Each structure stands twice: as structure tokens, then as C-alpha cells.
Amino acid sequence: CLLNDNQFIQFAWQDLRVVLFMSAVHRGQEWVTQLRRRLAKTATNSAITEAPFGDEPCKEMVIPLWDDEYNHNINGVDRFDGYKAEYDTKRLTYCTWKPFWYFLFEALIINAYLLCARGLEGQKHLFKSQL
């Protein structure tokens, strides 16, 4: 399912469960072929994956490029969630725009920290060397 407003594109993809994405980079027209493994028959969502795989344990499948890039770069999302979990700024609110504001504020703080930490990597011992 694609919803395109010429700035962002929204995706809904059925994997083990429905996954929602929003991207300003992808257009939804790019596809790649990847080797995918079937879930074990005892897995919770194995009924969903049985049909495409049949009896094969692995199968080359055509998947959207944005899904493939997400799978290969998920650690960046997990690190952001980890930083965000340290200092949560969310507050109970009844306004529709405030949760989005808090998310952007957290992203701003985390990105500022990461840029500062990256910029100071070579200068960690600069103060001691000047003494």
C-alpha cells in the first residue's frame, strides 16, 4: 500500500506483522531480490510465511528496496531508541501535535550529542597535553 504526497511516501508491508514506514528518500518503485529464510513451523506467525515458501527452507524473494535497507540498517534505529529511552521527555498530553514535538525535541538532543561526541573524538586528551 503506497500513499504518496510528492514529499513523503508511506508504506504498509506485511512481513511477520504489518510494518508501517514513512520515507522522504524512497519512491516505492525500487525492488531487490534477497534470499529469505522460512520461519520454523512452531513460530507464532508461521502460517503467514508458509504459503510463499512451500516446503523450501530458503527462497529468493523480491522485496521492496526500503524494506531491505531497513533490515540492513536497523541497528541505527535501535541505537536511537536506546538513547531515547535513557531520558524520556514524553508527557501526558491531549494535544495532537505535542507527541510529535517531543519526538523531534528528543531527536534534536540525541543528534546534537552524537555530533558533539564525533567532533571531539580526536580531542579527548587535548586538555591534559596542554598542562
Residue extents of the structural domains in the chain: 2-72, 74-130
Residues 3-51: tens digit of each pLDDT: 555 677 787 877 667 777 777 777 778 899 998 888 777 777 777 777 7
Instruction: Note whether 84 and 57 are within 8 A (CB).
Output: no
pLDDT of 40 reads 79
pLDDT of 131 reads 46
18 C-beta neighbours (distance < 10 Å), count: 9
Q: For residue 100, report the phi and psi dihedrals to the nearest 5 degrees.
A: -65, -40
Give pTM, 2 decimals.
Answer: 0.51
* For residues 96-110, average pLDDT: 85
Is residue 77 very low, low, confident or very high in pLDDT (cuts 50, 70, 90)?
Answer: low
